[in-house]
């Protein structure tokens, strides 16, 4: 399986405090990860805002220092469960790239 590349949709799991962030990976280095996206807990609210053509204030450009990063996973489907980006497109009718 190829490495996770920049500009791929990812889920970043963080600790201290525990968080999950979903978005597009901008850069990954020994210092940490830069990403644009949302707190995963706000996913349904984000979809609702995009569907209703409302501004969503939770989209952010963020840097996570590597000491906080527990795991970075590619946003991809698994068995019957579609990827977050696929769920977004199904529920809004828009490409995720247009929402960031």
Instruction: Write out pLDDT tens, residues 3-56.
Output: 999 999 999 999 999 999 999 999 999 999 999 999 999 999 999 999 998 988
For the chain, what is the domain count?
1
Residue 4 in domain? no
Residue 2 in domain? no
* Residue 22's CATH number: 2.30.30
Residue 68, Cβ density class (10 Å: 0-12 exposed, 13-18 middle, ≥19 buried): middle
Residue 52 in domain? yes
Residue 56 in domain? yes
Residue 97 in domain? no
Residue 98 in domain? no
- Alpha-carbon distance 23 to 56, whole Å? 14
Q: Is the pLDDT of residue 86 over 90?
A: yes
Residue 1 in domain? no
Domain limits at 85?
9-92
Structure pTM?
Answer: 0.89
């Amino acid at each position: 399986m190829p490495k996770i590349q920049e500009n791929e949709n990812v889920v970043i799991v963080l600790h201290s405090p525990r968080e999950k962030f979903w978005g597009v990976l901008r850069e990954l280095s020994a210092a940490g990860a830069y990403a644009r996206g949302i707190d995963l807990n706000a996913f349904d609210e984000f979809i609702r805002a995009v569907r209703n053509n409302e501004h969503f204030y939770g989209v952010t450009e963020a840097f996570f220092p590597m000491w906080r990063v527990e795991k970075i996973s590619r946003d991809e489907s698994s068995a019957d469960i579609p990827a977050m980006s696929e769920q977004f497109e199904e529920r809004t009718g828009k490409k995720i790239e247009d929402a960031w």
